A and B are shown apart, each in its own frame.
Chain A
Amino acid sequence: MRFHYDTSYLDQSRLLRYPRDKLLYGALFGVLALIPFLLPRYYVGEITYLFILSIASLGLMVLTGFTGQVSLGHAAFVAIGAYAHTYLLTLGVPFAVSAFGACSLAALIGFCIGLPAIRVSGLYLAMVTLAFSIVVEHVLGRWTSVTGGYSGLTVPSPVIFGVNLGGLVPFYFLCLTFLAVTVLLLHNLLSDRTGRAFIGVRDSEAAASGLGIWTAGYKVLAFVVSAFVMGLAGVLMAHKVQYLTPEGFGLIQSMEFVLMVVIGGLGSLRGAIFGAVLIGLLPTAISKLKPMLPSVVSGQFGLETFLFGLILALFVLFEPGGINARWIKLKALLQTFPLYRKDTYKRGRTYMKSERYR
């Protein structure tokens, strides 16, 4: 059992509060730092890809997990980040400026897409973002002078202060650094006033505006922050794939992002990373499993899509809180070991949700 013994009002929001946390996160970083030197090159590349997916997943988590706005077109922001960055790099703009410019452009477009979100929500907002994503894909396909159209665009290597970080190991550490910084900044933002306002907008707009929260402003802010982070994922993705085509940022990719945040556990940054790791590893896992399966099954077309759907359905049915909720329960089980009750996390019914107005 752990008892909270706070000696300051800020104790609860401290990042690494207990010595054990420091130890575990230190160990995690130690392992991540050693991976490129221990594992085969293929896996190093795969893990780099997981880092990029995690950044994207965090981006969507800000929007869907914290303000409750669903976006079915978030791959479009990744595309904008990737293409803008590549375009600026080919013009000879330095990496840092170009990356920041690309993220800012994504954020600006996020702002424009956020404006309709003030008026529409739920399914209708999902439609707006879906339409936006289709439009972006077509623009990327047709605007050949900038994007190279469907024939694609080659991405230059990332050169920072004269050092080429395009190699497998340097790029691994570049992505890891960006992921760590993103997690840290988003954690700061979401555990403070802005994050609470996001949750307020998600859970009850009526109460939130009664407390002085400008709901429209925070909805748009969530889109801006989310799009900026997606743009960053796009910047790194461009270097990872090295060759951009519009098909890489289609609806399937957007759906995968949604799956990541839902399966990971809405409303938690940890969940976003869990989700990204699971969804990111799934194709590899399936391809490893395929030879073991009978040919009737493995030969079927669309096995991956089927499994994606199955996993999502199972999570929604049995663990709506996602992997993160499972993680919290597991932690509680270990901490309270013989005393853990199965029903600890069973919630009472929710009261009177009927007459909500907005």
Chain B
Amino acid sequence: MTSLTIDNVSLSFGGVRAVQNLSFDVKAGEVFAIIGPNGAGKTSVFNIITRVFAPSSGRILVDGQDITAVSRHRIVGYGIARTFQNIELFEGATVLENLMLGRHRFAHAGFVHELLGSRKTRRFAAEARAKVEDVIELLELAPHRNSPVAGLPYGVRKVVELARALTTEPKLLLLDEPASGLNPEETHDLAFWIDDIRSDLGITVLMVEHDMSLVSEVADRVLCMNQGQQLALGTATHVQSDPAVVAAYLGT
């Protein structure tokens, strides 16, 4: 379980202020949703947390550790995994290879062992595969295990991306619009999975989502952003009835 603290974070690209003095906490074991109109800065928050962008000011803390200056590929070592709004899978690889890549950060035999295909390498490969199979079972991906990603339907690709994030054994999972493009049935499955991920695997979930039915079903708390700023924070029903939120969505 992990807790995330966003402490007075701002991000600007020249004159464009994508995020302005944003502060919020995600408690351990919580499902926290960020909503807001297009261009509100939701994905920018994700990109700040995963160090794609360095914030102009402010700090990001995970379990009390400051990760504001950690390099991008080390973020996963703090137990943070993410999915992308526009699916970022490894198109030229199979589902299995995609998931095995999620095991990259764990112990390995080393370059020379790999080159020689030593017994040690094979042991590590089998261990990684066993962990990957657990995730395949959880998300019911077995029929697609050896399919190339490039040929899969959209809904399955979304699940594969979620699975890949899970194979890194995260403590905090960032889901960027997990339900976009899914049909109601798939969204319903997703709601169950998110609940399982939180309660069975003990993973804190932070998600950006537009589908309010999903948000109100799974999220404990909701943050509404507009123009890089916090508009409202609270339970789904509380945020939805906030006059400022209604104004932001419908216009004034």
Contacts and interface: CB of A to CB of B under 8 A. Distances in A.
A189 interface: yes
A343 to B, nearest CB: 11
B109 to A, nearest CB: 8
B129 interface: yes
A5 interface: no
Interface stretch (A70-78, A104-112, A210-218): A210-218
A208 B84 CA distance: 12
B86 A213 contact: no
Contact of A192 (B76, B105, B125, B130): B125
B82 A199 contact: no
Interface string A1-39: 000100011101100000000000000000000000000
Interface string B74-87: 11110001101111
B2 interface: no
Interface stretch (A232-240, A273-281, A345-353): A345-353
Interface in B80-124: 81-82, 84-93, 96-97, 100-102, 104-105, 108, 111, 114-117, 121-122, 124
Given A203-B90, A352-B86, A209 B100 contact: no
A348 B92 contact: no
A355 B84 CA distance: 11
A212 B97 contact: no
Nearest to A205: B88
A202 interface: yes
A215 B92 contact: no
Given A9-B126, A193-B108, A200 B101 contact: yes
A199 B92 contact: yes
A12 B132 CA distance: 14
Contacts of B77: 212
Chain B interface residue count: which class?
Answer: 35 or more
B164 A211 contact: yes
Interface in A179-237: 185, 188-189, 192-194, 196-197, 199-200, 202-204, 206-215
B144 interface: no
A354 B86 contact: yes
Contact of B89 (A185, A204, A209): A204
Given A199-B97, A210-B75, A213-B104, A10 B125 contact: yes
A352 B177 CA distance: 14
B159 to A, nearest CB: 14
Given A9-B126, A188-B117, A350-B150, A210 B91 contact: no
A357 interface: yes
Given A188-B115, A212-B73, A206 B88 contact: yes
A202 B104 contact: no
Contacts of B93: 196, 199, 203
Interface string B201-214: 00000000000000
B52 interface: yes
23 contacts: A9-B130, A10-B122, A10-B129, A13-B125, A188-B114, A188-B115, A189-B111, A189-B115, A194-B111, A199-B92, A203-B89, A203-B91, A207-B84, A207-B164, A208-B90, A210-B75, A210-B82, A211-B76, A211-B102, A213-B101, A267-B92, A353-B86, A355-B86
Given A189-B111, A211-B168, 4 more contacts: A207-B88, A212-B168, A267-B92, A351-B86
User: Would you list the 7 A-B pairs with minimal beta carbon distance, nearest first?
Assistant: A212-B105, A188-B117, A9-B129, A203-B90, A212-B76, A207-B88, A352-B86
